[in-house]
Each structure stands twice: as C-alpha cells, then as structure tokens.
Amino acid sequence: MQFDKIIDRTPSYALKWAKYKDRDILPMWIADTEFRCAEPILDALKERTEHGLMGYTLPADHVAANQAVVDWLARQYDWHISADWIVWTPGVVPAFNVACKALCQPGDKVLIQTPNYPPLMAAPKLNDLVKVDIATVEVNGRWTIDLDELEKQAADPACKLFIICNPMNPVGTVLTSDELQCIADICLRNNVMLCSDEIHCDIILDETAKHIPAGKLTEFKGQAITLMAASKTFNVAGLGTSFAIVEDASVRHKFNAAAKGIVPWVTVLGLTATHAAFTQCDDWHQKFLSYLRGNRDYLVAEIANISGLKLLTPQATFLAWIDASGLGVENPQKYFEDLGIGPSPGADFGNKNFVRINFGCPRSQLERAIELIKAGS
C-alpha cells in the first residue's frame, strides 16, 4: 500500500526530522504527514516548472485555482460560494493574525479555544491584544468547547473576536451543528466576530461526523472568516498556500487592508498544487482517510492498554491528544523523548500533562512508537 512506504526525509531539510537530528528519537510532532503527495499534484507541479517562468501571479487572477476551491466546497460541504469571497494567504497562521489586526484595536480581548496549537495561542499578544482562554471540556467521552464559559466571557464588551479550530487541534473534535449554532448565537448576541481555522476539515475520520464550515451559517450574515487549505490533507504545507472565505464585502475589505504590505501573495506552485488537489485527487483522498482511520483505531486500542495514558478517540485530524497525567512524571515530554519518541509538548498547547502524537505516518512507524512506549511502561 502506498501509505506504508517509509520515505527518508532527512536529506530534504524537513523541520520535523531536523528537530531530533543525530538523536535516536522518532519524530511525531509537527502536523505534516509522512506520505508521498498524490501523483496528480506532483505531475501538475512538474508541468508548471517545465514552463520555465516563475514570475508574479496575482492569486485572484488564477481562474483555475479559484474555481477549484468553489467546486470543492460545493461538492464536499454543499457550500456555494462566489470566487470573489476567496482571499489567498500564505498559510492560516498569517490569516488569523491578519484577522486580529483587521477586527480589533490594541487592548481588545480575543477569545481563544484552548488547548490550541502554539501560533494561534500566540496571535493575540503579537497583535497587542489580550488573550482570554475558553476551555475545552470532556463530555460523554468527547472533547468540546465550554459553551457556558464562552457565554460568560463573550459578554465582556472588550471581547471583539473568537478564534476557533474546527476540527479542533489538538483534541480532534468535529463541532456539531448544535454546537456551532450555540457559538453563533453567543457571538452575534455579544457583537463578537468569529474566525474559524478549518485547515483539517477534509480529514474527518468519524464517518458519523459532518464538518460544517462556519461561513456557511446564515446567522453570521457572511461576516465569519473561514480559513482552509489543501496543505494538511494533501501534504503540501511546505508550499505555503491557504485561503480565507469572507462573504461580507466590508469585512473582506478590512481583512485585505490589514494584510496589505505585510502578507505576501501565495506562490504559483502553491496555487498549482491546490488546483490539482481539489480537482484530481478524490481517489487518493479516500484512501488516505481509510489509512488514517486504521492508524487512529490502532493507536486508540493500544493506548487504552497502557497504564498511565488516556486518549479520547479523535473524530478528525491525524493528531492524538494523549493525557499522560497518570504516569506520575513531572515532564511527560522528557519521558517520551527518553523512550525514543518525539511528540509535541502539551505545555505548548496549554496543558503540560498531555502530549500530542502525529499518527499521519506509515503503520510500521506507529507500531514502533507503541513498542517504545510499552518498553518503558
């Protein structure tokens, strides 16, 4: 099977592998996968480079890439957008930082669903704003947003923006229609804008779950900012290409104005890869999801049998948020690294008692990680 193949990334300057260079540690941290890109993407990139010219390309003028996004959202989510709602950005991290600049004034408060990945946690402070954490709580064996806390904090007039991840990174939850409706009601009642990082939306592993883009909710009247990309699903994150969907023209103008002179255009190769991913890779996508489901189910079953560890089954993403508080160790990150495994430290996400393990890898690598954990338990 194509996803079983181990590819040596050490000559490619891959960040994931460079972190533990010259150390006998299996890197399972940063959120890219170990899988070769789908062949149609690689073919499209080769064809584009053979053209020989790599000059400036205005993303809004790349008709094929824009239409690919329009068609993908209609096909996957029954969300019918106009191409002029699309704002291309070189990653979702610049995008939610731009949202902070566009929608807030220095000193305003920004609500952040936590735990969350480090760049998102850092965004308010980087933009001279005050971060207010909205906790994630366990309900019936599933992580979800503490809606009561959201209701309480959103009532503060200083709160101007709520940034969420859906699907949630690192916990892997897909928010339900009722949860999204409640979030919309709270935001609208308190004049809080919503920016939704949905970069993992095409990696839904729970076949009973359904992703609903925030911007599709009519209650927001087009004012929500929805961030998406092909990067996580199709393993093209290194090409730095994502997009914001902003229906409301005035909000879109503010977003573009905040980005001007700071955020560069996305690259022509990123546009090429996105177009190919969304138009030619459906079969690869389904096989990818099937393989990840197998990895997830294997990991959940194994962790359940290891004393001191707990994992709630993630509904989406290729990331496992593992509670290591039962180990009784001061530093779970060091504990795992000493065993030969390099996860993401939970402290970076807001809880030092957890680690995040990336299971977007060949099964043999995942099995090796489990062997190492069991050897130390």
268-327 pLDDT, tens per residue? 999 999 999 999 999 999 999 999 999 999 999 999 999 999 999 999 999 999 999 999
Per-residue confidence at 263, pLDDT binned at 50, 70, 90?
Answer: very high
Whether 6 and 91 share a structural domain: no
Whether 258 and 304 share a structural domain: no
Mean pLDDT across the stretch 253-266?
97
pLDDT at residue 89 greater than cutoff 80: yes
Select from 221, 254, 280 the last residue of a domain.
280
pLDDT at residue 1 greater than cutoff 80: no
Mean pLDDT across the stretch 255-259?
98
Closest CA to 21 of 236, 371, 342, 347: 342
Domain that holds residue 130: 45-280
* Residue 180 three-state SS: helix
Looking at residue 316, the DSSP 8-state letter turns out to be B
Is the whole-model pTM more than 0.85?
yes
Whether 212 and 262 share a structural domain: yes
pLDDT of residue 376: 84
φ, ψ at 321 (rounded to 5°): -95, 100
Torsion-angle region of 155 (φ positive above 0: left; ψ -120 to 50: alpha; else: beta): alpha
pLDDT of residue 180: 97
Whether 52 and 18 share a structural domain: no
Torsion-angle region of 344 (φ positive above 0: left; ψ -120 to 50: alpha; else: beta): beta
Whether 49 and 152 share a structural domain: yes
Select from 235, 263, 280 the last residue of a domain.
280
Residue 21 belongs to domain with CATH number: 3.90.1150.10
Q: How much of the chain, in percent, has pLDDT values that exceed 70?
A: 100
Per-residue confidence at 222, pLDDT binned at 50, 70, 90?
Answer: confident
